[in-house]
Amino acid sequence: MKKAKENLEDDLCPEYDFHSLRVIASGPGRRKPTEPTIALAPDVAQVFPDSDSVNEALRFLMRIIEKEMACQ
């Protein structure tokens, strides 16, 4: 079934500038605005394919550092 074409006429004035507005992406699968975004290098992303594996590795590293600091 084909959608009927709508006759959309632009009734906005040309002086309206929407480029300066902040766009908020919302919906399922979107990150919260308060969540940090971290980009992984491609070689690191091959070893750690998801957030859980990265967090697990970093927590392990944190435990090692804590033990080292306690021994000093």
63 lies in which domain range?
A: 42-71
Tell whether 46 is covered by a domain: yes
Tell whether 31 is covered by a domain: no
Tell whether 67 is covered by a domain: yes
pTM: 0.51
Counting the structural domains of the chain, the total is 1
Tell whether 65 is covered by a domain: yes
pLDDT band at 65; cut points 50, 70, 90: very high
Residue type, 47: V
Tell whether 52 is covered by a domain: yes
Tell whether 51 is covered by a domain: yes
CA 52 to chain centre: 15
Q: How big is the chain by its Cα radius of gyration, in Å? A: 24
* Per-residue model confidence as pLDDT tens digits over 36-55: 888 899 999 999 988 899 99
Tell whether 47 is covered by a domain: yes
Tell whether 60 is covered by a domain: yes
**Are 59 and 66 within 8 A, CB to CB?**
no
